[in-house]
Every structure is written in C-alpha cells, then in structure tokens.
Structure 1
Amino acid sequence: MYERILIPTDGSDVAELAVEHALDIAAQYDAEVHALYVVDTNAVAYSLGAEQVDRIRSGNFQGMTELREDAEAATDYVREQADARGLSVIEHISGGQPHEMIADYAEDHDVDLIVIGSHGRSGVRRALLGSVTERTLRSTTVPVLVVDARADDRE
C-alpha cells in the first residue's frame, strides 16, 4: 500500500513526533522514506537579498551556513531515527513555498503518503497566513497524515 513515504520536516518537536509516526508506518510496509526540508523563501526574503533568495530556490545554499545547518539537522534526525529501525532515507533540501515544494516533491517522486506535523516553527505567521500543513492538504492529491502535537499529550 505504501511504497514511498514523505516526511516534510522543519526540525520542530511536532515534526519529530510526525517522524515517529511515519517511520512506524514505513517499517510496517517496508516503505522507502523521504525526508524533505524546505527553506521558506517568503520568510527569509526580508532578511536576505533577492540574489540569495534566488540561489536558495535553485538549491544553492553556498555561504548560508546557518540555513544549511538547520536543514541538515532536521533531515539528519529523520535519517538517525530511520537507521535505528533499519530503514533507509533519501534526504532532500530545497527552497520555495513549503506547501508547493512538498506537493511537487510528492508528485515527482511518486509518494504514496505524506506524514506531517500539525504545525511547526511558524508561530504568528501561521495564524496570519494559514499553516503549511493546511496549504499542503489543499495542494496535493496524495494522502496526508497529519500528526497533532496534542496527540503526544494524551499518551
């Protein structure tokens, strides 16, 4: 049923909870796992110049050590957790609008399931613009499992 599972991550606690759910499913179905970190170019556009934002969109993070380190830490977490379960992970970092990049990645890689946290690091932006999760739900026809941070509180 599930051959390829996509885990969009921003490294937040909620994203890490989604990783646990996704990897449990991947282990059950022996699915290929994809970890995706998207640098939100709208969020960084105010602090970076247009040239740097264009470089991020093209996948070039040269000279942007902090962004690259955050991205690698988030996808490395997925890989480390997957390694502990004997699963392999394809890690990918990109730049753009997160919901669009998630939907495009899922389509381009024939993903069968997207597992995403209910919210991440966006704080006030989430309240003003709507969450990446909500926009992802509207942007893709791939099934999406939304892991709510409150689910961890009930256990």
Structure 2
Amino acid sequence: MDTRILVPIDESEQSETAFEYALETFPEASITVLHAIDPRELRTYGGVEGWIDMDELAAQRRAYAQRLVDEAREHADERGITLSTAVETGKPARTVVEFVKDNDIDHVVIGSHGRSGVSRVLLGSVAERVVRRSPVPVTIVR
C-alpha cells in the first residue's frame, strides 16, 4: 500500500525542515507539498503610492506560491523522489485539513510554526489547528 504524505509549506525555515524530514523519513511514499494562500493576504491595501489592486496582488501571491512548490519539486527531483504539488486559497489550517480529507492523505508532516511576531499572534498556530482537526496522524517538526 502506498502511503500518502502531505507537507504544507511556506517560506519559513520550519517548513523547510519539515519538508526535509518528510523526504528523508518517507522516501518511498507519495509526497505532496501544499501551499495555502491565505485570503486575508489578498485584500486591497492603500499606501503612499496609491491602492494596490486586489487582482494584481492575488496574481503575485499565486505566482509566488507556484514558485515555492516548483522549488520543492526540483529539490525532490534532485534526490530521485517524485513529488506532487498543490496551491490552494483558503485559511491555511482549514485548507490543510480539507486537502487531507479530499485526497486520501495518510499522514501530515508540518513545521512547528511558519510565522512569527505579530502575524503569528493574529493568525494563531496553523500547526496546532491542524493537529486538533486532522483525521490522520500529524508529525510536527521543530
């Protein structure tokens, strides 16, 4: 039976560590990396230069997310590991749990936290929420 592992990724060091852990620990598994674009990051903002267009911001976030998962795929390819990727828009913890349910994932490997400072206080701990809501085992990597 093929084990299906999900690794949520962002730009954090903890996320990179969790990804490395998954590659080393589950080299024979089907690994998928997922980046969730938080819709709260896609609001229209005003600044010194004027308003930032929401559609433009969304396109930039999606391009960044695609670059992030493509880099993960390239890293896995260098190790001879085939990797699936996904980019979804939604609250990160909810998106991870829904992805688990919708894609028959067997195990989640997640970094201990991906944000720090004010944004972590405002957004809460994604890893903690995934652990509480996931229908499958979750490994948190520090």
8 Å contact kept, 1:103–1:139: yes
Write the mapping of 1:43-58 to structure 2, written as runs, cut at 5 A.
43-45=41-43, 47=45
Q: 1:4 to 1:62 in 2, by over 3 A?
A: farther
Which residue of structure 1 lines up, in the alignment, with residue 112 of structure 2? 118
Unaligned runs of 5+ in 1: 53-60, 149-155
- Count of equivalent residues: 137
Unaligned runs of 5+ in 2: 47-53
8 Å contact kept, 1:2–1:112: no
* TM-aligned CA deviation for residue 46 of structure 1: 5.6
Which residue of structure 1 lines up, in the alignment, with residue 35 of structure 2? 37
Q: 1:24 to 1:14 in 2, by over 3 A?
A: same
Measured in 1, the distance between the counterparts of 2:2 and 2:20 equals 16
Q: Verify: 1:19 aligned to 2:13, yes or no.
A: no
Q: Verify: 1:68 aligned to 2:79, yes or no.
A: no
* TM-aligned CA deviation for residue 138 of structure 1: 1.3
Q: 1:125 to 1:63 in 2, by over 3 A?
A: closer
Which residue of structure 1 lines up, in the alignment, with residue 50 of structure 2? none
Q: TM-score, normalised by structure 2?
A: 0.83
* TM-aligned CA deviation for residue 98 of structure 1: 0.6
More deviation in 126-135 or 102-111? 126-135
Write the mapping of 1:86-101 to structure 2, written as runs, cut at 5 A.
86-101=80-95
Measured in 2, the distance between the counterparts of 1:142 and 1:47 equals 38
Measured in 2, the distance between the counterparts of 1:63 and 1:47 equals 10
Which residue of structure 2 lines up, in the alignment, with residue 6 of structure 1? 6
Measured in 2, the distance between the counterparts of 1:77 and 1:99 equals 22
Structure 1 vs Structure 2: percent identity of aligned residues?
Answer: 39
Measured in 2, the distance between the counterparts of 1:112 and 1:66 equals 32
* TM-aligned CA deviation for residue 63 of structure 1: 7.2
8 Å contact kept, 1:2–1:113: no
